[in-house]
Amino acid sequence: MMSKLGVFDISVRYGKIPAVTDLSLQINEGERVFVSGPNGAGKSSLLGAISGAVATSHGRIEMDGDLLTGRQPEAIARLGLSMVPEGREIFGALTVEENLRVGTGMRRDVQAVEADVGEILDAFPILAERRHAAAGALSGGQQQMLAIGRALMTNPKLMMVDEPSLGLAPKIVDQVYETLCALQEERSLTLLIVEQSSLRAARVGGRMILMRGGRIVGEGNAADMADREALAQAYFGAPRSNSDMEAAE
């Protein structure tokens, strides 16, 4: 298997606050990897470090053998890495089409940009239907599709998605993951996805990395990890419900 991404011993700090500490990670080409863990575990900081949005204080990151560390996010994007940020960062006052063009301002190949917009609209019929609508008028699920579509505009090989499920109804989350998995197949994408729900990760399938306090504390097949977590909660962690208490008495 070909290595796509190599993270070697990186640390991220915000002033005195350590967010990621001596973290290493290898991702193979075509793999689907979930990052799970509680709030503040450092999941977004890890993605930010890889995309170049957040500086590392230590270590190095490589994609296809190219050093990413120290490069500008735009340069990293040009190498084939794209990110769907936490909270989507859709421009509500702009139309769907205009949102797709955000980030293409530097490109002089206007026709190629329009061809790329057309390709994304073909891939997402719901976006095509609403291409002239203000993005702010879309539902949460549609906005997530738009954020994914926009990230595909640079034709990435590695795509990172930070919490695609956030604030969406379970049925909509199903659709988002169906779309992501289909895109992965069609475009031979490598996916790195932050997903709080280990059950969801298990259902979609892939490798799961569990982070806590800026470090990796567990790793394995998502389905096995979800089972283990459920077991641990049943024995040690889960707050007991009233009916459990009554049954025990």
Ligand X SMILES: Nc1ncnc2c1ncn2[C@@H]1O[C@H](COP(=O)(O)OP(=O)(O)OP(=O)(O)O)[C@@H](O)[C@H]1O
CB of 183 to Mg ion, least distance (A): 22
C-beta of 40 vs 218, nearer to ligand X: 40
Place of tokens 């960062």: 89
Map the footprint of Mg ion across residues 3-22, applying CB under 5 A: none
- The H or E element spanning position 218 is strand 215-221
Contacting residues toward ligand X, per CB under 6 A: 14, 17, 19, 37, 39-45, 86
CB of 55 to ligand X, least distance (A): 11
Give the contact letters, 24-43, x = binds to Mg ion (CB under 5 A), - = no: -------------------x
Give the contact letters, 86-125, x = binds to Mg ion (CB under 5 A), - = no: x---------------------------------------
C-beta of 123 vs 201, nearer to Mg ion: 201
Map the footprint of Mg ion across residues 174-213, applying CB under 5 A: none
Maximal C-alpha separation, the chain: 73
Residue 44 contacts Mg ion per CB under 5 A: yes
C-beta of 86 vs 119, nearer to Mg ion: 86
Place of tokens 């990897």: 33
C-beta of 29 vs 86, nearer to ligand X: 86
Quote the CA–CA distance of 193 and 82 in Å, as a whole number.
12
| Torsion (CA) 205, 230, 40, 11 in degrees, nearest 10 | -60
CB of 124 to Mg ion, least distance (A): 25
Which of these, 183, 156, 150, lies nearest to 63 by C-alpha position?
Answer: 156
Quote the CA–CA distance of 229 and 177 in Å, as a whole number.
22
- Residues 50, 7 contacting (CB under 8 angstroms): yes
CB of 44 to Mg ion, least distance (A): 3
DSSP code of residue 111? H
Q: Which does 168 bind (CB under 5 to 8 A by kind): Mg ion, ligand X, none?
A: none
Quick check: helix, strand or coil at residue 41? Answer: coil
Quote the CA–CA distance of 24 and 80 in Å, as a whole number.
21
C-beta of 30 vs 218, nearer to ligand X: 218
Question: Contact positions toward Mg ion, by CB under 5 A?
Answer: 43-44, 86
